[in-house]
Structure 1
Amino acid sequence: MEDSKRDTIMITNDDGIDAPGLRALVNVLLATNLYDLQVCAPDTEKSAVSHSITWLHPIAAKKVHIDGTTAYAVSGTPADCTSLGISKALFATVADLVVSGINMGNNCGYNIVYSGTVAGAREAFFNDIPSISISYDWVKGTSNLHDFTLAAQACIPIINALMVDIKNQRYPKKCFLNIDVPINVANHKGYRLTKQGKSIIKMGWKQVTSEAEGRKMLSDMTNTDTAAPTDFNMSSTPGSLLFAREVKGVQLDHDDTITDHKSLQEGYITVTPLAAISQEEVDCQNYFKDWLQSVSESPSSSAL
């Protein structure tokens, strides 16, 4: 008799449980009528926290209502949310696939290191659970909230294909996938397998005189005129200098290979396999092989 058990997907993110990208992903997955959905996401925005975890104090998990799911809002980081969500402490079953997103703003190149969205998927990878992170290349003034629904719909074939491979035990466990969806998602050029490039959003600092002047940075790496959250006291230390981040621009890839950011700007949905261990450049290996040998053969510093 055919197994009627539905596959389970757990959803997390770094923009927070109320973020439009997460809600769009939930609604599109529900519309397939293929999966049981679990949601375990931060209770507030946790963008750019990378793979930080909560260690020194407990975190709170509050059950919330999201139609068609079992959902919890968690006071921790994206990595905390994934770890808790797959631990069986919240849900009776461990998800077959963890999906982190959909993030507001792309996660390409070196910025992957900062990304809480990618960390949500990476934490599942650490625990041998297949996972993907999804980001939409949101541009303020051009993008709109419906684009998140289009981005989710564009990624459904990938999710469905992954679930087939997971069920048939073909999914490779040595990586997880990072997906970026282009601005003009309605007219994207298809999927393209890419590698992580070296693009990065360059940021600087400016001195500010008040909490209101230190504008809050949005998850798409743009600034808003809204003041920083009132529960964060920027002037708690008398005599301190106050500094706020500001975006200086984007440093692009200077690489002729097919990289994530370059392909995204060309209109492709980029699919980038990632692992937890960074691969150093070959020429660095060659350089330090000889360098370390010379260090070991040189007199110790105490003899100099």
Structure 2
Amino acid sequence: MENQPTIMITNDDGIDAPGLRALIEVLVSTRRFQILVCAPDSEKSAVSHSITWRHPVAVRRVDIEGTTAYAIAGTPADCSSLGISKALFPSIPDLVISGINMGSNCGYHIVYSGTVAGAREAFFNDIPAISISYDWFGGQSNVENFTLAAEACIPLITAILIEIKNKTYPIKCFLNIDLPTDVANNKGYKLTKQGKSLYKMGWSQVTSGMQGGKMLSTMTMDTDSTAPVETDTLNISQDHLLFKREVLGGQLDEGDFDDVDFKFLRQGYITVTPLGGLSHAEIGCHSYFKAWLPSVEECPSSSSL
């Protein structure tokens, strides 16, 4: 047991999420790894890389067979940071896995993703990390698909740990993995790049459902109406206006046709996308502003606009 690699698991769907539990069950069943779990105590989807800064976070032990597990009253980035800090666990894990998320994380949605942030936080601290997401689709997907998704990732996870043991694994990136809806019939692994795909969202004013100064608010970042929905009771005074997000439609950028994640995920591949911690501007932007910036001093004052 002492020579087994240690994997720490986190996510953004919460410690009771079926994707995380399926990943744990599959990894534990292999008997190849020591498993630590440090995940949010409730759903934290689409919180991106936010962190808790001004107050302590509460931690409670959770009984998950074959693991040492804790639920954290914080964000995915908090969980990852705490889990690798040696403040909670006695040792630093060899690999951090964030997921399995219910819903894909491709293109610009990577910026919103708490799942990806859980892996990115480990990467910031020089710990090898991967984020895993399953392209859940209503009417086709069920919770058993999470087990299939986890099983499909075992060769990747094992290969990564071998590279880590041999000290040949690159530390200048982390991996974002997306599994297709029909994961049982996937077409294999495909190395991809982060694209520009984005589900366009708008806002609509909420005018119904208010009673006695309260209303039931629902929010989901998933485009599928059958996906889990977060529900909260909000205390609302009569002088407030209420707005909720709504999905307007999906868009695949016209330039996204060469080795991009969203394209190959929809074709049935398991996409493997190396990511870094920096978001560089599009090619050409730096050259434009290099020429533009010196001219700013010569511009007339704003009063002449």
Q: TM-score, normalised by structure 1?
A: 0.93
| 2:240 is equivalent to residue 240 of structure 1 | yes
AA at the equivalent of 2:29: A
Whole-Å Cα distance in 2 between the matches of residues 167 and 27 of structure 1? 23
- Return 67-76 or 273-282, whichever deviates more: 273-282
Change (3 A) 1:97 1:226: closer
Compute the displacement of 1:224 (Å): 6.3
1:41 counterpart (39, 42, 59)? 39
Q: CA shift at 1:39, angstroms?
A: 0.3
| Number of the residue aligned with 1:253 | 253
Q: Quick check: 2:6–2:35 contact (8 Å CA) kept in 1?
A: yes
2:183 & 2:299 partners in 1: Cα distance? 61
Are the equivalent residues in 1 in contact too, given 2:122–2:128 (CA < 8 A)?
yes
CA spacing shift, 1:113–1:228, aligned 2, 3 Å: closer
Q: Does 1:88 align with 2:86?
A: yes
Name the aligned partner's letter for residue 295 of structure 1. Answer: V
> In the TM superposition, what are the counterparts of 1:77-226 in structure 2 within 5 Å?
77-209=75-207, 210=209, 216-218=218-220, 220-223=222-225
Report the equivalent of 1:269.
Answer: 270
Counterpart in the other structure of 2:49: 51
* Amino acid of the structure 1 residue aligned with 2:72: V
Matched position secondary structure for 1:10 = strand
Whether the aligned pair in 2 keeps the contact of 1:105 and 1:219 (CA below 8 Å) is no
Q: What letter corresponds to residue 176 of structure 2 in structure 1?
A: N
* TM-fit CA distance, 1:139: 0.5
Summarize the Cα distance change of 1:302–1:229 in structure 2 as closer, same or farther, 3 Å threshold.
Answer: closer
CA offsets, 1:56-84, max 9 Å, x none? 21110100100000000000000000011
Shift of 1:172: 0.6
Match of 2:27 in 1: 29
How far off its partner does 1:214 sit? 5.8
Q: Note closer, same or farther for the CA distance 1:227–1:46 as it changes in structure 2 (3 Å cut).
A: closer
Distance in 2, matches of 1:226 and 1:67, equals 25
| Whole-angstrom distance in 2 between the partners of 1:172 and 1:227 | 37
Taking structure 2 as the reference length, the TM-score comes to: 0.92
CA, structure 1 residues 228+90, in 2 after alignment: closer, same or farther (shift >3 Å)? closer
Measure, in 2, the Cα distance between the counterparts of 1:159 and 1:199: 27
Gaps of 5+ in 1: none
User: Mind listing any 5+ residue stretches in structure 2 that lack a counterpart?
Assistant: none
2:99–2:133: 8 Å Cα contact kept in structure 1? Answer: yes
Instruction: Look up the SS of the partner of 1:169 in the other structure.
Output: coil
Deviations 1:34-55 (A, max 9, x none): 1000000000000000000011
Change (3 A) 1:182 1:234: farther
> What amino acid maps onto 2:13 in structure 1?
D
Deviation at 1:248, TM superposition (A): 1.1
